[in-house]
A and B are shown apart, each in its own frame.
Chain A
Amino acid sequence: GAGVSQSPSNKVTEKGKDVELRCDPISGHTALYWYRQSLGQGLEFLIYFQGNSAPDKSGLPSDRFSAERTGGSVSTLTIQRTQQEDSAVYLCASSWGGTGGKGSPLHFGNGTRLTVT
């Protein structure tokens, strides 16, 4: 597709269950970002990928959160043993992150709305 695709668009899960959120970036974009947006809050950075490696995982809120990226394309954010405070919209963005790519724009998906009951 032409844009960043995220699935599912909505996810309701019970406290304690694991969830996987998927992001398909724009083809050719080497940089991929995960952000979290809680109700009424700003965007909280979670993790950044350059290709398949994650040079910056500093935003992951706890060891229950992990992410991987395979083939320099699709990324999966996994939350284990979900808690109610994990309820938020999880947004994925990609950009062309090659040499000089620090000036390239971010393109966002529509997000996954996660509700933990």
Chain B
Amino acid sequence: KQEVTQIPAALSVPEGENLVLNCSFTDSAIYNLQWFRQDPGKGLTSLLLIQSSQREQTSGRLNASLDKSSGRSTLYIAASQPGDSATYLCAVGGGSYIPTFGRGTSLIVHP
């Protein structure tokens, strides 16, 4: 059974810092890995999707990398802003069609 772990569980940083959020998974036989953000009281918004054949994806200040062999993905946020404050979740898609989610990293960026 796939297990997904996100570290750290919570993070509080001053504005402007570069951040790294970690996601690890136990079964490397994955199809894709997706990063989401969730604002309080809202659903999940997709940020980046990395296919299993890819090493990284970039969108604006966000960069996500994938290392299947070591079972890890990182989400890099450059020059963090207060508007980046949210919970960030990763979801691993495997052969069962059922994506497995981590518990998330709660990020606060203070001015």
Contacts and interface: CB of A to CB of B under 8 A. Distances in A.
Interface of A: 4, 6, 31, 33, 35, 41-43, 45, 48, 50, 55-56, 91, 93, 97, 102-103, 105-111, 113
A106 B34 contact: yes
Contact of B97 (A42, A43, A102, A111): A102
Interface in B22-61: 31-32, 34, 36, 41-46, 49, 51-52
A111 B97 CA distance: 21
Contact of A111 (B43, B95, B96): B43
A103 B101 contact: no
A105 B43 contact: no
B43 A42 contact: no
Among B44, B49, B91, B103: residue with most chain A CB under 10 A: B44
Contacts, number: 59
Interface of A is mostly: strand
Interface of B: 31-32, 34, 36, 41-46, 49, 51-52, 89, 91, 93, 95-104
B24 to A, nearest CB: 15
A41 B32 CA distance: 23
Contacts of A102: 31-32, 93, 95, 97
A31 B44 contact: no
Contacts of B41: 113
9 contacts: A4-B43, A31-B97, A43-B101, A56-B96, A93-B44, A106-B99, A108-B45, A108-B46, A111-B42
B89 A43 contact: yes
A107 B97 contact: no
